[in-house]
Structure 1
């Protein structure tokens, strides 16, 4: 009787390969999830830095007072310090603190519910025509709910300069007061 050369894998080999692959995927998924959350956190910080710099440039170029504020509906400034629902940029209404004069110029997007963005003091940021920030040394904290290790900040100086960084003392962050 002639013996044929077998090519390929048998059923047992295929099942073992699938089991090994399943174990590797189970190990990789939590790390991938954490990496995606960190990426979203850094992207949000970058979005806010760009938006704040743009708001400051608008104030200087147009010689008007510009407001940067949190918004829940994309039409009006909200009256809280939670910025995760989105933000607005527009001309500041000098008669109504913390509100826009007319419709917003730019609208920022909402982030996932696991991302927390809060301010330390004011509920809005005003840029004067000279580029300075009226409510001095404002900062925003960015974190993932339940994770005290990953905390980013954006700081706005009284001169209106915007700087991003990693929080030095996460225990004092307003980010975890909302968790």
Structure 2
């Protein structure tokens, strides 16, 4: 007769393994949360920058003024950029080109001459120069600067730090 022996982990070994996994998760989760927040912020910046470039291109190609404005419902402009934005023809506001909705809780701000960004048929935006920026915990994470010629560029670290007073 053969003796059957069982091979298993003891309760102490299982508890030690569980404790080590718990400690590792406790260390990793805050870093993971920060990485997710950073990715969401960068995705928002990239989406907004792509919309600005597309609106300017549309204005030049179709020789028609285009505007981007904050919008919650995609039919009317508002002043709250946190909900999203829409791109439409300036001369016929019912002609929607594209709409973007922001699903996560964010703080997207616009600081410029007007409440909307307008690109003229030649691609310039003389009355819409300004900055989009996103705040988090009192600092500017990023900003997109639009000059009078309609060009969009990211803000520098020094510009972001100088703008942080608006995030309080």
TM score, norm. by length of structure 1: 0.82
Question: 1:26 — aligned with what?
Answer: 26
Measured after TM superposition, the shift of residue 130 of structure 1 is: 0.3
Question: 2:83 — aligned with what?
Answer: 85
Measured after TM superposition, the shift of residue 175 of structure 1 is: 5.0
Measured after TM superposition, the shift of residue 6 of structure 1 is: 5.5
Partners of 1:171 and 1:40 in 2: CA distance: 23
CA contact (8 A) 1:87 1:109 kept: yes
Partners of 1:172 and 1:38 in 2: CA distance: 19
User: Mapping of 1:8-157 within 5 angstroms?
Assistant: 8-78=8-78, 80=79, 82-93=80-91, 101-113=93-105, 115-121=106-112, 122-144=114-136, 146-148=137-139, 151-157=141-147
- Cα RMSD, aligned residues only: 2.2
Taking CA–CA contacts closer than 8 Å with sequence separation of 6 or more, which of the two structures ends up with the larger relative contact order? 1
Distance 1:112 1:37, change over 3 A: same
Partners of 2:138 and 2:165 in 1: CA distance: 13
Partners of 2:115 and 2:102 in 1: CA distance: 17
Partners of 1:175 and 1:83 in 2: CA distance: 15
Q: Secondary structure at the match of 1:158?
A: coil
Measured after TM superposition, the shift of residue 162 of structure 1 is: 1.1
CA contact (8 A) 1:116 1:175 kept: no
**What are the superposed Cα offsets for residues 72-98 of structure 1, whole Å, 9 maximum, x if unpaired?**
2221111x2x312110001014xxxxx
Partners of 1:129 and 1:55 in 2: CA distance: 10
Unaligned 5+ runs, structure 2: none
Measured after TM superposition, the shift of residue 102 of structure 1 is: 1.1
TM score, norm. by length of structure 2: 0.87
Q: Compare the two structures and name the one with the higher helix fraction.
A: 2
Number of aligned pairs? 165
Partners of 2:162 and 2:6 in 1: CA distance: 64
Measured after TM superposition, the shift of residue 137 of structure 1 is: 2.7
Partners of 2:115 and 2:97 in 1: CA distance: 19
